[in-house]
Amino acid sequence: MQEAARQSGRTANEIRLIAISKYMPTDYVLAAMSAGQHCFGENTVQEALSKQDLIDNPDNEWHFVGHLQSNKAKMIAGNFDWLHTLDSLRLASRLSENAINAAQTLDVLLQVNIADDPDKFGLPASAVPRFIDDILDAGLAGIRLRGLMTIGQRDATPDERRADFSALRELRDACMARFELPRFSELSMGMSGDFEAAISEGATMIRVGSALFGPRPAPNPASSDN
């Protein structure tokens, strides 16, 4: 992270490392915490809550990074600080309502399918401005729009991946200016295999799992939130 930031004229302090601990035992999370890591990303609510039950540390920051159905929105408020995968107004409304009930303001990122990959969730880039308009018009006080997130194409070349990251940054910048949202500054992009390119294109959050924890065991289908 430090080297990638240095090469692009940035500092590592500008970038939040989110340790993607999904499917990893709680002991791995505790080991990461002992090394100074306190931002963790999970993609199923049940697994995250089971870990949180065993870990009592107010310094931890929990990020939900998986696809979320609106009927699970009630489980996010009070248990997560960030949600990276907002892509529907219905979900936004439920998140806001439940966050207000929990006396929380939830930081959210809009998931963008920047490459129009049919295998990925997220909003098409062209739909993002209208989506922001709809959220602002709805006056959803329980959520706070903080930026954009994307998942890179699985088989993209390095140049294609970098172009996608650049496109997400340009979209973020355009939305910040158009809607006068000074806190709409976050870019969650880049994972174990491409976080250096993401940092060079302006990532403020990178989501790293296997490079920290090693290969993941197979997921438990019973824990899926999809």
pLDDT over threshold 90, residue 225: no
Coil, strand or helix at 59:
coil
Tokens of 35: 């090394």
Taking only the tens place, the pLDDT of each residue in 143-200 is 999 999 999 888 899 999 999 999 999 999 999 999 999 999 999 999 999 999 999 9
* Per-residue model confidence (pLDDT) at position 196: 96
Taking only the tens place, the pLDDT of each residue in 47-65 is 999 999 999 899 999 999 9
* Per-residue model confidence (pLDDT) at position 171: 98
pLDDT over threshold 80, residue 226: no
Query: Taking the complete model, does pTM exceed 0.85, yes or no?
Result: yes
* Per-residue model confidence (pLDDT) at position 224: 46
Calculate what percentage of the chain has a pLDDT beyond 90. 89
The average confidence (pLDDT) of the chain is 94
CATH assignment of 2-213, given 3.20.20.10, 1.10.3720.10, 1.10.357.10, 3.30.360.30? 3.20.20.10
Give, in order, the Cα–Cα distances in Å from 110 to each of 82, 105, 131, 188: 11, 16, 9, 10
Taking only the tens place, the pLDDT of each residue in 89-134 is 999 999 999 999 999 999 999 999 999 998 899 999 999 999 999 9
Tell me the domain boundaries of the chain. 2-213
**Spatial CA neighbour of 205 closest among 153, 146, 164:** 146
pLDDT over threshold 90, residue 69: no
Coil, strand or helix at 74:
helix
| Residue-wise burial string across 140-175, b where 16 or more C-beta atoms lie within 10 A, e elsewhere | bebbbbbbbbbbbbeeeeeeebbbbbebbbebbeeb
* Per-residue model confidence (pLDDT) at position 105: 97
